[in-house]
Amino acid sequence: MRIKSLLLGTVAAAALAVPAFAADMAYPVKAAPIAYVPVFSWTGVYIGGNVGYAWGDGSAPWNNYLAYYYSGYDSAAASGGSDPTGWFGGAQIGYNYQLENNVVLGAEADFNFGAMEDRLNYTAVDLGDPTFQDLGTIDTKIESFGTVRARIGYSMDRFLPYVTGGLAWGNVKVSESWTSYTDGTLDGFGGASRSETLWGWTLGGGLEYAVTDNWSVKAEYLYVDLGDINWDGAANTKIDMSMQTLKAGVNYKF
């Protein structure tokens, strides 16, 4: 009887301990969901604007030009040049497609206008009797230019270094004015001008950074070769026009 009472007491104590033990056990807690951060992609159409600075190189045989028209004069000298330099601004539109390996392929077209110009001054003197003197200026301007280019870059998340190249065009204007003097007295003046849209090629590179999913900023360098403008056929004077540009821009991607 004593043993039976002891066993019943042990079972009862165990039964009472089970709920208390269960209450002390830690229940499993479901992990908080991991927030999904979408990966940035450069794919899409974009438009934007830019400002920059250009320095040109208008190579021309100006000494031969003066020698042709002033062959009988005692001297003919020129100063300055035909290297249009100055600020410009414009707009661009393009499309990028980002591959799975982070290579970004794209195409871009831009249009720019500004005040890139240079002036050549010349003086021709004949010290005979009477004396003759001609004073003249030749202005070379790039009034507008643009490019149509392919781009290839490598996406480093929001950084995009790239190289670019393609077609280029430029509206180049050359104008000359002169005055003639005989024994110091004005006896004539005149002028001539020629404007031509030249086509050539361009090559360069840049770096673009996506500030947000839609807005990006970029810096870009281009070398542009526009070819020749035939200024004077009689004197066989052509201006070989090229330039370099450095610009900053902003784009909005749709």
H or E stretch including 70? none
pTM for this prediction = 0.82
What mean pLDDT is predicted for residues 187-208? 96
Q: Other C-beta atoms within 10 Å of 93: how many? A: 14
Protein fold of 2-253: Porin (2.40.160)
| Residue 6 pLDDT level (bands cut at 50, 70, 90) | very low
User: Which is nearest to 195 in space by CA: 175, 176, 168, 177?
Assistant: 175
Bond preceding residue 84 cis, omega within 30 of 0: no
- Tell me which DSSP letter residue 27 carries: P
Which pLDDT tens digit goes with each residue over 158-188? 999 999 999 999 999 999 999 999 999 999 9
